Amino acid sequence: MRHLVLFDIDGTLLWGGPAKEAFHLALLEVFGTAGDIESHDFSGKTDPQIARELLEGAGLPSGTVDHGLPSLFRAYLRELEARLPDDPVTVLPGVPELLDVLGAMEDVALGLVTGNIAGGAELKLGSARLGERFAIGGFGSDSELRDDLPPVALERARTRWAVDFAPDRVWIVGDTPRDVACAQAHGLRTLAVATGRFDADALRATGADRVVDHLGDTDAIVEVLVP
């Protein structure tokens, strides 16, 4: 293994599904409020960060939030699992084909860097039949701070493949400025894809190494990630 490609999930690999509804219901169950969830910006944030922003914004003390987070995420996973069969996620165009090609390359390892807690990532990817594609990841359940997640994924990659991946051979693929920033914080390369809430111009402004409109041009994307 020489190359490591770490994918974000929402807006990059998948779209839609019942996660926001499940999160809303879980917040109400555990804390009695979901804060200003309808207008809140979720983009590129970890699940714990989103919960904290919503709940502290509604006036709950930080200690109360900390105490309730484990119960919140148990309720969230229960609600998410119950709703996914009737409201499955959508796999974005080109994703299965790209993962097929990368996954067949002997010198490429695939993983995740996502704000989803690990259980949420597993449920969403399982709904999309992508659950077996990624051996390791850094998740929102590992840290509330997005910038903490790439080192977690890199350490798990070292353990899984016994390779210390060179930074210039590690790409983070994501759809938000926060995906780009968390990679830049650790000297990793970035492929920003305009399939989420940010257009290509906004993503170029982040200084991403490459920006594409979508992941549908498999050959071109592979040439970028594995030159």
> pLDDT tens across 125-164, in order?
999 999 899 999 999 999 999 999 999 999 999 999 999 9
Among 87, 50, 44, which Cα is nearest to 69's? 50
pLDDT for 176 equals 98
Which helix H or strand E contains 173, and what residues bound it? strand 170-174
Distance of CA 207 to CAs 1, 112, 139, 168, 183, Å? Answer: 27, 21, 24, 15, 11
Residue 227 in this model has a pLDDT that exceeds 90: no
Strand 14-15, strand 90-91: pairing: antiparallel
- In terms of phi and psi (left: phi > 0; alpha: psi -120 to 50; beta: otherwise), the region of 88 is beta
Paired with 177 in beta bridges are none
> pLDDT tens across 159-202, in order?
999 999 999 999 999 999 999 999 999 999 999 999 999 999 99
Residue 124 in this model has a pLDDT that exceeds 90: yes
Paired with 111 in beta bridges are 6, 136
> pLDDT tens across 32-88, in order?
999 999 999 999 999 999 999 999 999 999 999 999 999 999 999 999 999 999 999
Domains of the chain from N-terminus onward: 3-16+88-225 (3.40.50.1000), 19-83 (1.10.150.240)
Give the pLDDT mean for 193-215.
97
